[in-house]
Amino acid sequence: MRVKYRTIAMMTAMCVMIITGCMKGEGHLTDNKGRIDHVAAEKTVTLTFWRNSGNNAENTAYEQLTAAFMKKHPTIKIEMTPFPYSDYDTKLRTSVAAGNPPDIMAVDAPNLASYAQAGALIPLTEHFKKDGNLEDIPLTTIEGYTYKNDIYLAPMTESSIAMFYNKKMFEAAGIPLPSRNPDEAWTWGQVLEAAVKINDPANGIYGIDPAQGFQNAGATAYFKYPIIWQFGGDVMNAEGTTARGFLDSPETKRALTFYTELFTKYKVASFEYPVDAFPNRKLGITIDGTWTLSHIAEKFPDFKLGEDFDVAPLPKGSRQAVANGSWALGISTKSKHPEEAWLFVNWMTGYEGLKLYSSVTKDIPARYSVAKEFTELNEYPKNIFVIQNQKYGRPRPITPVFPQVSEAVKNLFVEVTLEKRNLDEAIDDAISTIDKAYADSKSIAN
């Protein structure tokens, strides 16, 4: 009887062990040869991922990336939801405020501080130090995703701007062609001299569009902040708390004065340009982005790179500077699976993910190692954009009130150029607007 009871007890214990093992996600299967194989039956984790809907290439790249990741990690399911660009930030902020944000979210670099200050993002600093290969990303790029000494976003790609010029106009006017070397940018003085020689308003030809006209605040930040930086000025302090002492510095005033005089004194820039003025041969010099290369190639095939136009580094004042930062990925503080979320984010923004993404979109990857993999990014003209970002890139003001800052700076450029308002008065009003916005954000946060 003792043997019988002992046998029953042993069988019961074995059943308990098997059940317990199953509850822990582990099972045991016996094959037809009697061998026992250990099978991991891990529970599937579902992660929600929100992003802005991009062009066809970007959407295709994201679909391929998520599919590749899930194949690599079958126990992690990614539910990706793209939103139209115009609605995305509003929907994301609403979800954060309501306490039900996605696990993973795409955030545009300038919006970092507002999400970080709201406690919506988990710091990624320790993750990056552990297995994020920080040394593979330019320091100035990482600075654009850092708020109060913590990294909050993982960068994917960069976009950049440079100087496009009509080569035939330059040659006809006897103007020496700018260098293609990213480290040998023309000065704004040289650009002005060339613009004066090309300028022919009587025949509808303008010398230069220095910063894409007077567009919205986002374009202002991307195209006009660099002019301020190039002249040695700045918009805000490093902490992003005040514009006083920076937007009103002598260097910033010189930048604003030079920009204004292109329109008012030298009259080489216009307050309004024809559509596609540059490829339509109505504009001698323009400051524009990498995307313009494909636009011209597709829409204006008779306006050829190397024959009709060329690309040179962004002009400089006392220094070279270009705005960096683009869409990046962050993890919600509300996520119940932050480790799995980091696994996804790190793969997407790491070597393997970025190589796949850039091969589809042709965008500039944020990592040195990936940029080296694409021949076209290491040759003229795209090498100009790549090297500028890596060596002379700098983040736009990292502040929770970035939208208000850019709106104030946009209005400042409009007022001193279009409305011919007194420079000091316009600057003082812009500073008051920015500093009040920051003070209000602090009171709301508290």
Q: What is the pLDDT of residue 70?
A: 98
Cα 53 from Cα 312, distance rounded (Å): 31
Are 195 and 313 in the same domain?
yes
The DSSP line for 130-142 is: HHS-GGGS-HHHH
CATH number reported for the structural domain that contains residue 260 in this entry = 3.40.190.10
- Number of domains forming the structure of the chain: 3
Could you tell me which of 142, 88, 148 has the C-alpha nearest to residue 114? 148
pLDDT by 10-residue block (mean), the chain, 446 residues: 37 38 35 35 88 94 98 97 95 97 97 96 98 97 96 95 98 98 98 98 96 82 95 97 98 98 97 96 97 95 98 98 96 98 98 97 96 97 97 96 95 96 98 97 74
Question: 385 with 290: CB under 8 angstroms?
Answer: yes
Are 295 and 435 in the same domain?
yes
Question: 231 with 421: CB under 8 angstroms?
Answer: no
Are 80 and 26 in the same domain?
no
Q: What is the pLDDT of residue 446?
A: 63
- Domain range for residue 82? 45-158+325-386
Cα 9 from Cα 15, distance rounded (Å): 10
Q: What is the pLDDT of residue 220?
A: 82
DSSP state of 200: B
Q: What is the pLDDT of residue 242?
A: 98
Residue 107 in domain: yes
Burial label, 325 (beta-carbon count in 10 A; 0-12, 13-18, 19+): buried
DSSP H stretches of helix in 144-249: 167-172, 188-198, 217-223, 225-230
Task: Give me the half-sphere count of Cα atoms (radius 13 Å) on the Cβ side of residue 86.
Answer: 0
Cα 268 from Cα 257, distance rounded (Å): 14
Residue 112 in domain: yes
* Cα end-to-end distance, the chain, whole Å: 74
Cα 55 from Cα 259, distance rounded (Å): 33
Question: 376 with 302: CB under 8 angstroms?
Answer: no
Are 71 and 147 in the same domain?
yes
Q: What is the pLDDT of residue 42?
A: 65
Are 184 and 149 in the same domain?
no
Residue 394 in domain: no
Residue 393 in domain: no
Residue 304 in domain: yes
Q: What is the pLDDT of residue 159?
A: 85
User: pTM (2 decimals)?
Assistant: 0.88
Residue 98 in domain: yes
Are 184 and 276 in the same domain?
yes
Q: What is the pLDDT of residue 389?
A: 95
